[in-house]
């Protein structure tokens, strides 16, 4: 993996569609309780509630009970809006807080067996892939750091501004990746992708997985939580790789460092394949231009030549340096089998639309 810095994370969903959700007060209470237990993002919980419609009146007393669960300010504001909108509806029966018993994690023996299965999968992942071609869309954003000179108050959401959009033909042939830049902001270009500047990443087709799970990395794994991703139940493990075992290069302004890193692994409970892996740099050198670096990579099942393969869906790269944050949303579209004909027929004249946020949202477990 290689990240280069030029100058200078889920939306909550109770269903797979973006349709307005009709909720009773009991359902609303259960949803908020679950979101707090799962430590879901305040902004995204509020975003879901903004699309919800109550079937019963939300009164002040119930709102106070919900507030006592430990919700964030944006969620509270969204609930107040629902309270005002539901003022003319019939009153709901009193809601009592239900004490749920958390599902216990797998035993230590089961966890060890899961990690062993995932390690075997990760180390052989690249060998199982077909030769194919796809469209990579890179949307690059920048924002002042919240709490900095230009970024508003500490704790605010970054004010992301789209800088440019790159459309790339990505070929995977004989376990090697090849990137050819086709469009910049929907305009054809002959610029070499390696010379386009800005933040770039590579190695999403196996390198990241292999470097975490190869024995030489000596990654330490521990149980984190039960998850639900794209409708598939997952085991979620936290992991850590020490600096002396790391191979992750972070490069900026012709300086290079290899930091320790940590992250989460989401493992499909049915197949024991990795649906998501994240990593975050730990203890970058104080004098290094990059202050924070992280990457979250999602995989999904794709049809290539009539067979289903687990392939990259999206990865989000976050970098901070000085007063500026940069973010790359890298999305993978239109997979098809690689052949001499596919070289001729590849013709992207329009950039695919961004993926819906619920495709990469961790959903609350029911």
Q: What pTM did the predictor assign?
A: 0.73
Instruction: Enumerate helices (H) and strands (E) in the chain, giving the number of each.
Output: 7, 16
Tokens of 256: 């290079």
15 in a domain, yes or no?
no
Residue 200 is predicted with a pLDDT of 65
Same domain, 308 and 266: yes
Same domain, 132 and 49: no
| d(C-alpha 310, C-alpha 277), whole Å | 13
Cα of 366 vs its chain's centroid, Å: 21
Residue 263 is predicted with a pLDDT of 96
336-347 confidence digits (pLDDT tens): 888 766 554 566
Beta carbons within 10 angstroms of residue 187's beta carbon: 9
94 in a domain, yes or no?
no
256 in a domain, yes or no?
yes
Q: What is the CATH number of the domain that holds 140?
A: 2.50.20
Same domain, 205 and 338: yes
Same domain, 186 and 243: yes
90 in a domain, yes or no?
no
Tokens of 154: 């500490």
| d(C-alpha 224, C-alpha 300), whole Å | 22
CA neighbor of 143 nearest in space, from 323, 12, 263: 323
| d(C-alpha 161, C-alpha 193), whole Å | 22
93 in a domain, yes or no?
no
223 in a domain, yes or no?
yes
Q: What pLDDT tens digit does each residue of the chain (366 aa) get?
A: 333 333 222 233 333 334 557 888 888 888 888 888 777 888 888 888 988 889 999 988 888 888 888 888 889 889 999 998 988 888 877 665 555 567 899 999 999 999 999 999 999 998 888 899 999 999 999 999 887 777 667 777 888 999 999 999 998 888 888 899 999 998 998 998 888 777 666 656 678 899 999 999 999 999 999 999 998 999 999 999 999 999 998 887 778 899 999 999 999 999 999 999 999 999 999 889 898 999 999 999 999 988 999 999 999 999 988 788 999 999 999 998 887 665 545 666 678 888 888 888 887 665
Same domain, 79 and 118: no
Same domain, 117 and 246: yes
Same domain, 176 and 54: no
| Helix, strand, coil tally for the chain in percent (to 5) | 25, 35, 40
**What is the extent of the structural domain holding 48?**
21-85
241 in a domain, yes or no?
yes
| d(C-alpha 209, C-alpha 211), whole Å | 6
92 in a domain, yes or no?
no
Residue 14 is predicted with a pLDDT of 34
Could you give the angle at the alpha carbon of 251 between the alpha carbons of 195 and 288, nearest 5°?
135
Same domain, 45 and 173: no
User: In angstroms, how far apart are the furthest CA atoms of the chain?
Assistant: 67
CB proximity list for 77: less than 8 A, separation 6 or greater: 46
Same domain, 233 and 351: yes
Same domain, 246 and 306: yes
Same domain, 164 and 242: yes
The structure tokens 């704790």 sit at 155
Residue 321 is predicted with a pLDDT of 81
Residue 12 is predicted with a pLDDT of 31
Considering its fold, how many domains does the chain have in total?
2
Q: Tally the residues of the chain.
A: 366
């Amino acid at each position: 993996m290689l990240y280069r810095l030029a100058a200078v994370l889920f939306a909550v969903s109770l269903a797979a569609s973006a349709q307005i959700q009709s909720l009773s007060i009991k359902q609303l209470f259960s949803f908020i309780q679950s979101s707090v237990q799962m430590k879901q993002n305040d902004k995204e919980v509020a975003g879901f509630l903004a699309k919800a419609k109550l079937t019963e009146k939300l009164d002040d007393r119930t709102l106070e009970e919900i507030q006592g669960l430990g919700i964030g300010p944006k969620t509270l504001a969204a609930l107040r809006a629902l309270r005002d909108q539901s003022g003319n509806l019939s009153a709901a029966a009193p809601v009592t807080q239900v004490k749920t018993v958390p599902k216990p994690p797998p035993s230590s023996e089961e966890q060890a067996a899961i990690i062993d299965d995932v390690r075997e999968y990760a180390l052989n992942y690249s060998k199982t892939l077909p030769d194919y071609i796809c469209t990579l869309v890179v949307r690059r954003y920048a924002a002042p750091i919240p709490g900095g000179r230009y970024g508003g108050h500490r704790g605010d959401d970054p004010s992301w501004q789209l800088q440019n959009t790159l459309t790339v033909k990505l070929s995977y042939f004989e376990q090697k990746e090849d990137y050819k830049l086709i469009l910049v902001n929907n305009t054809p270009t002959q610029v070499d992708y390696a010379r386009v500047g800005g933040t770039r990443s590579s190695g999403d087709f196996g390198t990241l997985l292999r470097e975490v799970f190869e024995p030489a990395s000596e990654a330490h794994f521990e149980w984190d939580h039960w998850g639900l991703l794209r409708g598939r139940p997952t085991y979620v493990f936290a992991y850590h790789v020490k600096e002396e075992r790391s191979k992750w290069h972070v490069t900026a302004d012709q300086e290079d460092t290899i930091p320790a890193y940590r992250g989460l692994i989401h493992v499909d409970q049915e197949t024991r394949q990795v649906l998501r892996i994240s990593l975050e740099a730990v203890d970058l050198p104080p004098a290094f231009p990059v202050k924070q670096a992280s990457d979250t990579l999602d995989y999904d099942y794709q049809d290539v030549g009539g067979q289903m393969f687990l392939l990259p869906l999206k990865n989000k790269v976050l970098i901070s340096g000085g007063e500026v944050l940069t973010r790359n949303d890298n999305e993978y579209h239109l997979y098809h089998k690689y052949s001499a004909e596919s070289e001729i027929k590849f013709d992207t004249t329009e950039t695919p639309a961004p993926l819906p946020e619920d495709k990469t949202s961790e959903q609350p477990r029911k």
